[in-house]
Chains A and B, each alone.
Chain A
């Protein structure tokens, strides 16, 4: 069982917007603004899409955005495209100097 809770799957249509949630506790997501989101294609290494809750690394599309409310962080993808179909993982810093991950969400673009 993963430390952070994500939905196993999310489905959207091209052009739509979707949101993936990531629920933690007051020991991680709720206290620290160190939530990151990763995109992973099959057989490939994950790619950092969002860091520090809502910051995008250089080169990441502005269709990707992040936010947080209480113990839950969210990744929003607008204007869905076929190439967005991938697995998405959230992670957070947790007190006692550890990093924890969510179980991952499979995004399907129909």
Chain B
């Protein structure tokens, strides 16, 4: 069974960089077809796509976050990571790592999510 697990600090100070890691078990992130990525949800609000990637190098970002976001992959550890720089209170959210059916399609597997609060 495929499992995704987010990890990282639950509290980040304003203007600093948010860093999260997603550990994948039960499947390889180098599997054909699938994309992997991040989606977030501010408390009490809707979902926002952050970005996704294919293990061989193609990466796509939400234009509204593109200047601050980096998604990277470590195939040897079957992990991928999210870095979001210059955070503000509006970046406070539950962050989910997900598997996409393909670059353009829905997400069939989700991590449990991790709450990251931006506060001094």
Contacts and interface: CB of A to CB of B under 8 A. Distances in A.
Contact of A93 (B46, B104, B113): B104
Describe B's contact surface by its main secondary structure. loop
A46 B63 contact: no
By DSSP majority rule, is chain A's interface helix, strand, loop, or mixed?
strand
A104 B42 CA distance: 13
A102 B46 contact: yes
Size category, B interface:
20 to 34
B108 A98 contact: no
Interface residues on A, range: 20 to 34
Interface of A: 2, 32, 34, 36, 38, 45-48, 50-52, 57, 89, 91, 93, 96-104
Interface of B: 46-49, 52, 60, 62-63, 96, 101, 103-108, 110-113
5 contacts: A36-B107, A45-B112, A91-B106, A97-B103, A101-B47
